[in-house]
Amino acid sequence: MRKHRDVSAEGVAARLRKACQRAGHTSARNKSGVDVSAVAKAAGCSYEMARRYVDGLASPSPEVMRALANWLRIPLAWLAYGEGDGATASAVDSRMLQECLAAVQEAQEIAGVTLTPARVAALVSALYREAADGAPVAPRTIAASLRALS
């Protein structure tokens, strides 16, 4: 029995295999070289369905595609359509982002000032970039700066 292959499913499969291999989700037990069990877990589907995605026999739904892109930390547009270079998307460290937001909120209380939501967002964004580069997030230091600026 001949199996019909969808060209777009094959493209997604090739990019999925490449991303899995780059991320270390490999297996010598599979002809694709990909750990299909890990793909199934990330996609929230059966092993057989994940195998079909990896082999290009089926196209993942948009929701599954999004879950796989998030899991692999790659741009969704690259996985789905091959747009861009497929480089790892910069993932946001939610714990670090929460620390930055908490520090700004605490600094406002210490300094006795209230920033507009836009200013809070800008400050959190700047702190996040610095924290990602290894700088400490210190509410008292931020408060001192806020006092000096007000």
Q: How far apart (Å, rounded) are the C-alpha atoms in residues 47 and 68? A: 14
Q: How far apart (Å, rounded) are the C-alpha atoms in residues 110 and 124? A: 16
Strand partners, 34: 26
Q: Which amino acid is at 132?
A: A
| Average pLDDT of every residue of the chain | 85
Task: Please give the average per-residue pLDDT across 97-110, as a whole number.
Answer: 90
Q: Looking at residue 82, what is its pLDDT? A: 84
Asked if the model's pLDDT at residue 150 lies above 90, the reply is: no
Domains, the chain, with CATH or none: 7-81 (1.10.260.40), 94-149 (no CATH)
Residue entry with tokens 């079909």: 52
34 backbone dihedrals φ, ψ, rounded to 5°: -110, 145
Contact partners, residue 131, CB within 8 Å, separation at least 6: 96, 99, 100, 137
Taking only the tens place, the pLDDT of each residue in 87-100 is 655 556 778 888 88
The three-class DSSP label of residue 73 is coil
- Higher per-residue confidence, 3 vs 28: 28
pTM of the full predicted structure? 0.56
Q: How far apart (Å, rounded) are the C-alpha atoms in residues 85 and 55? A: 21
The three-class DSSP label of residue 126 is helix
Q: How far apart (Å, rounded) are the C-alpha atoms in residues 87 and 73? A: 9
